[in-house]
A and B are shown apart, each in its own frame.
Chain A
């Protein structure tokens, strides 16, 4: 393919779906949605945040929580080395970023899973950071927003990763007992142990169009039933139709919708909302 000589490499990004090349800045202004085919690029956690929160309001917490290797797990490479390689590749510390930010001026506790770090998989770090964010939301009496993008539990942490489902659901139960609002935003893909724990039990379940939302992924199902899957199976629209989502919304409208919702829940959080 011919390259344009006068523009340095990397400034153009190709759409993985239609192949259309677009100037990086233009793609960013379009919130990483392909202007030609409307394909939603998967977003890294920092890009995702930038599409939602007020500029420069994110304060990151719990960056110092990192993966251990309690099983001394080795598959095709040692788990420790795998973690290292993802840290180098993504410049992230883990598959989640968590902290406090403002949306439309309203302070929220927020976590973003990052699919580029081991498929956004949930091990003990993701579980702990989600739970600490919930603890923080209870302490600050602020709303909680969890943005998922994950293949599910992290197999390299064995049964301990499965238990993160119970752990995060337990913390959500606490938040719920405090009557603080929790908005779950599901991004492509949200499946397995993440969809079957905190992601599916938002007070409001929100997704972007065409997001894959599943318990078992399509390949696993196809292997089990040995039949063609129905068209659109496990897409956000399909899941909405089957009653598991409140809202499917375009990326450009997500922020304004969140602000609207946060305002409507206004009496439920903040210092004056303390339950007796």
Chain B
């Protein structure tokens, strides 16, 4: 796990896992073939099972925001080959909170685009905590259009607390940038896969989140506003974030149930941050599988399905019936 060394990075509920891992590592350092190890590993698994069997929604939010969790660049390096990063929106600037570029996936050229969070304070300042300005969305769209022109599939990675709420972002048209992306992504004439890898923060996530297949990591979350903001607005009390997370239904299972997400991608025991390689391996297979399906679907049918997918979202009553 690169970047973060402090134990403080772990949320409280994870502390027993961290402790047993340290014990196991200490034993391995002394004697890699110690007979104690089998028992310790069993214990580790039972601790994790216990914690994960009663994980609350808010704990999932904490996992999704875990600083050691793989971020977009980690996935790009772990799953794709020959990544060439492309910068800038050709209008205003280059937003480091959204990265993108060409890469090779099993020999095929694809366009990858994603929010990029940092791990250290320094990185987070540079990446603006993964909160894009309008030029980030415009860069994303520029790269999508480039992919469309040459028939490359687009794969986006979602991991942001939200689009940045700041003066410059408003001046440069945050709303216009996101709205335009939504409209253009619906019309984009190429295959598109969206993967929610961490935090799916509101319009800032959706701004690069339209696609033919929406995949979501098991411990990722997706919400209309952060549980903290929801708590402050609806309960007028910022300490109700845990309750808000439950009420808002933010987990992958919730989103699958509502038909927003097509597929949940399973994570290694304890979460993606404990085993990057395994996480990449599983996701790579799912990308390959879904890309195969999309490539076998006729283009017209693909676009019709994408439109209908979003057109049918939402639950309402008609003549008193839902």
Contact = CB atoms under 8 A, between A and B. Distances in A.
Are these two chains actual partners, yes or no? yes
Interface of A: 64-68, 70-71, 73-76, 123-125, 127-128, 131, 153, 155-167, 169-174, 176-177, 191-193, 195-201, 213-216, 220-221, 224-225, 227, 229-230, 233-234, 242-244
A198 to B, nearest CB: 7
Interface stretch (B96-104, B140-148, B229-237, B263-271): B229-237
Contacts of B322: 68, 70
Nearest to A202: B179
A159 B222 contact: yes
Most chain B CB within a 10 A radius of its CB, from A123, A159, A165, A244: A159
Given A158-B223, A233-B170, A64 B316 contact: no
A171 B230 CA distance: 28
A167 B316 contact: no
Contacts of A167: 310-311, 313-314
B171 interface: yes
Nearest to A195: B175
The interface size bin for chain B is 35 or more
B186 A196 contact: no
A170 B225 contact: no
A200 B310 contact: no
Nearest to A243: B173
Given A71-B248, A198-B179, A234 B314 contact: no
A70 B250 CA distance: 13
Interface of B: 163, 165-167, 169-176, 178-180, 182-184, 186-187, 202-203, 206-207, 209-210, 222-225, 229-230, 233-236, 247-250, 254-255, 258, 260, 307, 310-311, 313-320, 322
B223 A159 contact: yes
B313 A163 contact: yes
Given A65-B317, A163-B314, A165-B206, A199 B170 contact: no
A171 B174 CA distance: 21
A181 to B, nearest CB: 15
Contacts of A156: 234
A172 B260 CA distance: 20
Contacts of B233: 155
Contact of B315 (A70, A191, A213): A70
Contact of A195 (B179, B260, B313): B179
A165 B310 CA distance: 9
Given A65-B318, A172-B183, A220-B165, A244 B310 contact: no
Nearest to A242: B171
A2 B167 CA distance: 44
A215 B310 contact: no
Nearest to B319: A64
Contacts of A170: 182-183, 186, 307, 310-311
Contacts of B187: 173, 177
A64 B322 CA distance: 11
B248 A155 contact: yes
